[in-house]
Chain A
């Protein structure tokens, strides 16, 4: 058994929520710079160059890249030989979020209930926490801080198995087309296939947070990622939605076994400020 203090987790989260808001993750930085070189639309190229300049100002001044500093999502993968000490895990995670958002002058965007009074909790908590238990003694922490301009454009479609891969393509491309300029393109898109209604969405979120420099391990799904990217960039949405070649930087697909009668397809739309980080404690 390995003992891990929840304070370590709290402090790491406090640090990471700030880091991802001030600095583009390496994969996004690389994709944007490549796109700026390859973009053939004049206004598209200028917009991408301004996004690079924006990220340089953010890093230098320690001002968030985007004012929507997001809702925090935490994926925790816990080895079952781990025992957490010094308090409740959930509290420590939320404390890390609150401390990070305060210290980093990040915007607090969470309201305590969705429908009636929508009172701001003023510390950006609670965050969304997903845990999974695996063998071993490691704790892997993956975080994202998700902006809602793009989140609002996400979709779930309960496709029929007979619709096959073409049905998937239609659902994904329709969501990207509808998102258009609202989602702050160039976008990053996460697609979750299979599981259940709810789990497809979790898979889509996992896909969104996966590195843009990675591919699905299954070659059929890796090929689907590539084909979807080509189709998406033929939509001519362009940076900021003002036309161009660069509409989507990367599409990541994750899948899970599903029921004989179904083919859930969730599309999580994200923007060029797809803030994500992963560490092993």
Chain B
């Protein structure tokens, strides 16, 4: 069992390859379509982002609202390719890992290689199980986006499989 503690540095990623199942503990950030659009617009305006992307782990998820008395809702991955047009820029700015589900574009694969980063996949539709890995959640930005707001999550043993590694090896091929 491979355990990964955040921040997931490029050094930690250097020994991992496509197909490895890892269990992530530490801080990860949520962001999906609308949040990526906002971040991209902020960068276009030369504004400071609401999160530090250096060695950051971004999870493509729009969780369900947290029920009363619970820590977090259902939180499985969303389809990654909708983020593809924003992703190379995120890797350039230091993001080391993105987590979602499904295929990525060639531009994203190239960006992962040139930045020695990684793309991981979590089990699509296993939202209840993955939500249980979240031990605390804190709003970071874009509260008005509801489920699409950026949140900082503390997770324990969040299971993810490396789908594209730093060499560009692709589990889906």
Interface residues of A (CB under 8 A from B): 43, 47, 50-51, 53-55, 57-58, 61-69, 105-109, 118, 120, 122, 147, 149, 152, 180-182, 184, 240-242, 271-273
Contact = CB atoms under 8 A, between A and B. Distances in A.
Contacts of B64: 63-64, 67, 69, 105-107
B155 interface: no
B161 A61 contact: no
Contacts of A109: 62, 147
A152 B80 CA distance: 13
B157 to A, nearest CB: 13
Nearest to A271: B125
A182 B129 contact: no
Interface in B86-141: 101-103, 121, 123-132
A51 B125 CA distance: 8
Contacts of A273: 125
A58 B129 CA distance: 8
A13 B70 CA distance: 25
B126 A63 contact: no
17 contacts: A50-B123, A50-B159, A54-B128, A57-B128, A61-B132, A63-B74, A63-B131, A67-B78, A107-B64, A118-B34, A120-B145, A122-B146, A181-B172, A182-B81, A184-B125, A240-B121, A241-B102
A30 B145 CA distance: 37
B127 A64 contact: yes
Contacts of B78: 67-68, 149
B2 to A, nearest CB: 14
Contacts of B73: 63-64, 67, 105, 107
A149 B79 contact: yes
B63 interface: yes
The majority secondary structure among interface residues of chain A is loop
Contacts of B129: 50, 53-54, 57
B17 to A, nearest CB: 14
A107 B62 CA distance: 8
A36 B75 CA distance: 23
Nearest to A239: B123
The 7 A-B residue pairs with the shortest CB-CB distance in the complex, in nearest-first order: A184-B124, A182-B102, A58-B128, A54-B129, A64-B74, A67-B127, A54-B126
Contacts of B63: 67, 107
A61 B79 CA distance: 25
B76 interface: yes
Contacts, number: 129
A103 B7 CA distance: 37
A107 B72 CA distance: 12
A67 B123 contact: no
Nearest to A59: B128
Contacts of A240: 101, 121, 123-124
A69 B102 CA distance: 19
A74 to B, nearest CB: 21
B147 A65 contact: no
Given A67-B76, A68-B78, A105 B126 contact: no
A64 B128 contact: yes
A51 B130 CA distance: 11
B96 to A, nearest CB: 22
B58 interface: no
B171 interface: yes
Contacts of B121: 181, 240-241
B5 interface: no
A66 B76 contact: yes
Interface in B30-74: 34, 61-67, 70, 73-74
Given A55-B128, A107-B64, 15 more contacts: A51-B126, A53-B129, A58-B128, A63-B64, A64-B73, A66-B74, A66-B125, A67-B62, A67-B78, A106-B65, A107-B65, A147-B125, A181-B102, A182-B101, A241-B101
A65 B66 CA distance: 14
A105 B68 CA distance: 9
